[in-house]
Amino acid sequence: DTAVSQTPKYLVTQMGNDKSIKCEQNLGHDTMYWYKQDSKKFLKIMFSYNNKELIINETVPNRFSPKSPDKAHLNLHINSLELGDSAVYFCASSQEQGWNTIYFGEGSWLTVV
Residues found near another protein in the complex (CB under 8 A): 4, 40-45, 48, 55-56, 58, 90, 92, 97, 99-107
Is the Cβ of residue 14 or residue 100 nearer to another protein in the bound state? 100
Distance CA 63, CA 79 (A): 5
| 94: enclosing H helix or E strand | strand 87-94
- Sorted by sequence, the CB contacts under 8 Å of residue 69 that are 6+ apart come out as 52, 75
Is the Cβ of residue 18 or residue 58 nearer to another protein in the bound state? 58
Distance CA 53, CA 94 (A): 14
Is the Cβ of residue 16 or residue 45 nearer to another protein in the bound state? 45
